Structure 1
Amino acid sequence: MAAIDPAALAAALDVHGLIARGCVDLDPAEAPVGIDGRPAACVLLVGHAGGAVWPHFSRWRGVRPSSLANPLDAWSREVLDGVAGQFGAKAVFPSDRPYLPFQQWAMRAEGLKPSPLGILMHPEYGLWHAYRGALLFGEPLAAVFAIHDDGARAPVHLCDACAAKPCLKACPVAAHSIESFDYAGCVDHVRSPGGGDCRSFGCLDRNACPFGAQHRYSAEQQAFHMAAFAGL
């Protein structure tokens, strides 16, 4: 197999507002099946930081039927399947069944830990980032995609240093706690007449977090995600 050029792959992702988030070499016993039918040797996580992906997705969505189900997943598949084909990889996604361990891969690749909301806390982007999929390769590439050096992979967990925990205090129905998330209570509120702010501006708890605020998604993007979450 020809050597993978990280710069070329980064450029192929960048035209869609996506970035390589981190790479993990896998043992055969833990690896999903790769493009050649054998266990993959590594997984390269792909996602976005802040709202960089939104204009690209919005343009794509604007020329698709408004009735298209799960449009962001459909866009992600179309884009990453194309990139995978260019680089001899197999694209996999968080919605695939059986579910793949995306969060565990992300914590290993980037040294991140969950916030009280369950979203991984990033030292620069805060809660304003996501993983859209991953590329499986047939050879170990963690050293090639050295996205994080040894000194940057285990940052101080910002949530540990945050005594105030405003992310647990903004929700009108106290859906989030350290111990659990009241999914049903959250959805009921979002769908109710009193959930207008949540529908228009996104999760109030997430917006209350002070970290990475400059990367916060736009109100339009947050409203889209909230509508998808609540089935609106």
Structure 2
Amino acid sequence: MRLPELEALLDHAYLRVLGGFHPGPDDGTPEGCKTLLLLGPDEPRFWPHFIQTPEYRDDAPNAMDRWSLRVVEECAKRIGAQALFPFGGPPYLPFYSWALKTGRAHVSPIRFLVHDRAGLFLSFRGDLALSERIPLPSPESTPCATCAGQPCATACPVRALTPQGYDVAACKAYIRSDAGRDCRENGCLARRACPVSKTAGRLSAQSAYHMQYFIKGSP
């Protein structure tokens, strides 16, 4: 199987390949894995589809994770691959390092991953571990290298996201406040300041959904 065939399968599942690599013995992938593909939502068409799914409409917790389990497992079975997920731990699988191995995700000025097409704040819904080594496109350079001013580093009103690190408590406190309504309803200002994110197509409703889950957690 070649990558275009896999992409056609994923297209029907409202997913896309965000990158892939050929693992070595120290990459922590399953035994026999010769190609690992990282999957994310095919934005913007993903969100209108997702809100019509049984997982979203049943009002039970963790709708997107449950949808991911069902859909990525179905895709894996169709091609004889193994499905892997970034949730369900501890222990958690090393999705961050796997993303960097693809050469399509890079460390941004605010230390979060930035993708060459999806921008900041990647949403990985799962991986496909293939027993076959398939050709992969050459990775692209980090978009941050040519980003004038790197606005993500100064966009946060409370300086919760900076090159020095991430102040989670300050971030959540601001988002929960009246002043943080824009972030709460439309997504993180730092993400939206990223030029790549602006063209990625993520809808405000999808960002708001993730924000609600984020602020429900402990301070």
Shorter-normalised TM range: 0.7 to 0.9
The 3-state SS of whatever aligns with 1:131 is: coil
Which of these residues, 82, 90, 100, is aligned with residue 74 of structure 2? 82
Task: Note if 1:211 corresponds to 2:196.
Answer: yes
Residue 18 of structure 2 corresponds to: 21
Q: Which stretch has the larger CA shift, 199-208 or 7-16?
A: 7-16
The 3-state SS of whatever aligns with 2:92 is: coil
1:1-232 correspondence runs (5 A): 4-33=1-30, 38-61=31-54, 64-66=57-59, 68-97=60-89, 98-127=91-120, 129-139=122-132, 141=133, 144-146=134-136, 148-149=137-138, 153-155=139-141, 157-231=142-216
Structure 1: any 5+ residue segments left out of the alignment? none
- Aligned pair in 2 of structure 1 residues 28, 122: CA closer, same or farther (>3 Å)? closer
Is the contact between residue 112 and residue 121 of structure 2 (CA under 8 Å) also seen in structure 1? no
CA distance in 1, matches of 2:14, 2:28: 28
**Larger Rg belongs to:** 1
Q: Which stretch has the larger CA shift, 21-30 or 70-79?
A: 21-30
- Aligned pair in 2 of structure 1 residues 19, 145: CA closer, same or farther (>3 Å)? farther
Identity of aligned residues (%): 34
Is the contact between residue 50 and residue 128 of structure 1 (CA under 8 Å) also seen in structure 2? no
Q: How many residues align?
A: 216
Is the contact between residue 202 and residue 226 of structure 1 (CA under 8 Å) also seen in structure 2? yes
- Aligned pair in 2 of structure 1 residues 172, 6: CA closer, same or farther (>3 Å)? closer
Is the contact between residue 49 and residue 125 of structure 1 (CA under 8 Å) also seen in structure 2? no
The 3-state SS of whatever aligns with 1:19 is: strand
- Aligned pair in 2 of structure 1 residues 53, 183: CA closer, same or farther (>3 Å)? same
The 3-state SS of whatever aligns with 1:79 is: helix
CA distance in 2, matches of 1:99, 1:90: 16
Q: Which stretch has the larger CA shift, 24-33 or 93-102?
A: 24-33
- Aligned pair in 2 of structure 1 residues 6, 171: CA closer, same or farther (>3 Å)? closer
Shift of 1:113: 1.2
Structure 2: any 5+ residue segments left out of the alignment? none
Shift of 1:188: 1.3
Is the contact between residue 23 and residue 29 of structure 2 (CA under 8 Å) also seen in structure 1? no
- Aligned pair in 2 of structure 1 residues 216, 40: CA closer, same or farther (>3 Å)? same
- Aligned pair in 2 of structure 1 residues 84, 124: CA closer, same or farther (>3 Å)? closer
| Equivalent position amino acid for 2:150 in 1 | K
| Equivalent position amino acid for 2:94 in 1 | P
